[in-house]
Amino acid sequence: MKRQFLLATALAGTLAFASTVNAQTREPGIPPGVGAGAATGAVGGAIVGGPVGAAVGGVAGAVVGGIAETSRPRFREYVVTHQHRSYDYDGEVVVGRQLPRQGVTYYRVPSEYGPTEYRYTIINNRTVLVDPETGRIVQVVD
């Protein structure tokens, strides 16, 4: 009984969090889709870790300054039309992976895909957003 109550509380908190974040995406300067990513992360986090998991998942699901889900197809098309060379990388292409400082070329993301300080590059034929300060992958776009 106690477990059902906790699960119901986690679900209610997740929905409240998701709707709050979704409402925030209508604000100027916040890329569309951040709310959707946060909501997805919050639901996944709630399933795994209850209310705390919902909060952590919601933050992790929202890549602030990333390419929104709704803009990804257009952005992929943009990247393909520019035909940048793909960098061959021995490691797995995942969020958090730090790329080498040498040999990788980073490109600006056009403002039409949302405001971001990140750069994009092609690694093993996959488009990724990278934090230019650290060289870490912050989003795998495709």
pLDDT digit string, tens, across residues 16-25: 444 444 444 3
What is the pLDDT at residue 64? 74
Rounded to 10 degrees, the C-alpha dihedral 25/39/139/70 comes to -60
- Please indicate, yes or no, whether residues 48 and 21 belong to a single structural domain of this protein: yes
Domain that holds residue 14: 2-61
- Please indicate, yes or no, whether residues 82 and 135 belong to a single structural domain of this protein: yes
- Please indicate, yes or no, whether residues 46 and 82 belong to a single structural domain of this protein: no
- Please indicate, yes or no, whether residues 24 and 55 belong to a single structural domain of this protein: yes
- Please indicate, yes or no, whether residues 48 and 24 belong to a single structural domain of this protein: yes
What is the pLDDT at residue 114? 87
- Please indicate, yes or no, whether residues 7 and 55 belong to a single structural domain of this protein: yes
Q: How many domains does the chain have?
A: 2
Q: Is the pLDDT of residue 40 over 80?
A: no
- Please indicate, yes or no, whether residues 131 and 83 belong to a single structural domain of this protein: yes
What is the pLDDT at residue 30? 41
- Please indicate, yes or no, whether residues 8 and 32 belong to a single structural domain of this protein: yes
Domain termination site, one of 32, 61, 90:
61
- Please indicate, yes or no, whether residues 44 and 76 belong to a single structural domain of this protein: no
| This prediction's pTM | 0.57
Q: Can you tell me the mean pLDDT for 99-116?
A: 90
- Please indicate, yes or no, whether residues 31 and 85 belong to a single structural domain of this protein: no
What is the pLDDT at residue 26? 37
DSSP state of 109: P
Higher pLDDT, 128 or 4: 128
Closest CA to 99 of 73, 84, 120: 120
What is the pLDDT at residue 51? 64
Listed in order, strand segments (DSSP E) in the chain are 107-108, 119-123, 126-130, 137-140
Domain termination site, one of 39, 61, 83:
61
- Please indicate, yes or no, whether residues 98 and 133 belong to a single structural domain of this protein: yes
What is the pLDDT at residue 11? 45
How far apart CA 68 and CA 72 sit, in angstroms, is 6
Q: Is the pLDDT of residue 139 over 70?
A: yes
C-alpha separations of 47 from 24, 37, 40, 93 in Å: 23, 16, 11, 26
- Please indicate, yes or no, whether residues 18 and 75 belong to a single structural domain of this protein: no
Residues 119, 132: contact at Cβ < 8 Å?
yes
Domain termination site, one of 22, 41, 61:
61
C-alpha separations of 15 from 72, 95, 123 in Å: 25, 26, 36
Q: Is the pLDDT of residue 37 over 90?
A: no
Residues in the chain, total: 142
What is the pLDDT at residue 96? 95
C-alpha separations of 123 from 99, 102, 128 in Å: 9, 13, 7
